Amino acid sequence: MTEVAHVPAHISVVLDRSGSMAFIADDVVGGFNQFLADQRRAPGSARVTLAQFDSQDPFELLIDGIDLHEVTDLARSTYQPRAWTPLYDAVGRMIARIDAETAKRAELDLPEEDQVVVIVTDGLENASVEHTRASVFQLIVERRKAGWVFVFLGADQDAYAAGERIGVAPGNRAEWEKSQQGVRKMWGDVSYSTGLHRGKPREQRRREADQFHTEKPEEK
């Protein structure tokens, strides 16, 4: 248990804010806030980063590496779906931000963190200008070799094929239904998976990084 306590996690969420998310916006916000509440109850330390994206702003940083116990909930007024889906740009920028933060922490002799990157989207890429499928694929595959977790959660598409196109491991791709119940299940599953991951020692976390995503057992 000592090893777990001394290896913090950094949970980074890349959240689709395109127009097609509008009718489930309340559920998305509520689900994310429940995710935060669940993780606050889990043992171990963690930081959270949240960026929402659309074609008007492909990387709007809402939570910037805040300690899990200090981060405030996402406000519905902040999450206002609009425009198109620059998925590749959003993911590429998140990876670049984590890389820069990791280098900075190393310079300051701060503890290395285990990285978990969760991608939530309901649409296919249609608006990126900085990154391509190939460039994002390379970024993800390289960082998976270093033990990073990438999770692709997709609705209104073949999430398994879409996740494969950008290099996400088969075990970490999942589809979700665009309904109140579907959104609740999506966040519940990723919260359950994150809690399990944080409870493992570093060696096991890295060994099982490509089998991170697990469905939450149904309550009896």
**Rounded Cα distance, 151 and 92, in Å:** 14
Residue 2 has pLDDT above 90, yes or no: no
pLDDT 10s digits, 94-137: 999 999 999 999 999 999 999 999 999 999 999 999 999 999 99
Q: Which residue has the tokens 């489930």?
A: 24
- Per-residue pLDDT, 84: 98
In whole angstroms, give the CA distance from residue 40 to residue 150. Answer: 21
What confidence tens digit (pLDDT) does each residue in 43-76 have? 889 999 999 999 999 999 999 999 999 999 999 9
- What's the pLDDT at 220? 62
CA distance 21 to 23: 6
Output the pTM of the full model: 0.96
Ordered strands of the 149-154 beta sheet:
57-67, 46-54, 9-16, 114-121, 149-154, 173-175
Query: What is the rounded average pLDDT of the residues 23-46?
Result: 96
Asked if 36 contacts 69 with a C-beta cutoff of 8 angstroms, the reply is no
Please give the backbone phi and psi of residue 117, each rounded to the nearest 5 degrees, phi first: -115, 120
Mean pLDDT confidence for 162-187? 97
Tokens representing 182? 């579907």
pLDDT grade, residue 1 (50/70/90)? very low
What amino acid is encoded at 90 in this protein? A
Mean pLDDT of 184-208: 96
Helix pair angle (133-144, 87-107), 10° resolution: 40
> Are the CB atoms for 43 and 199 separated by under 8 Å?
yes
pLDDT the model gives residue 6: 64
Residue whose tokens read 């933060």: 101
Local confidence band at 218 (pLDDT 50, 70, 90 cut-offs): confident
Dig out the tokens for 77 from the structure.
């007024």
Token couple for 1: 């248990």
Instruction: Please say if the pLDDT value at position 174 is more than 70.
Output: yes
pLDDT-based confidence at residue 19 (cuts at 50, 70, 90): very high
Mean pLDDT taken over the chain = 95
CA distances from 11 to 47, 131, 141, 158, 178 (A): 6, 22, 18, 25, 23
pLDDT attached to residue 132: 98
- Tell me the domains of the chain and their CATH numbers: 2-211 (3.40.50.410)
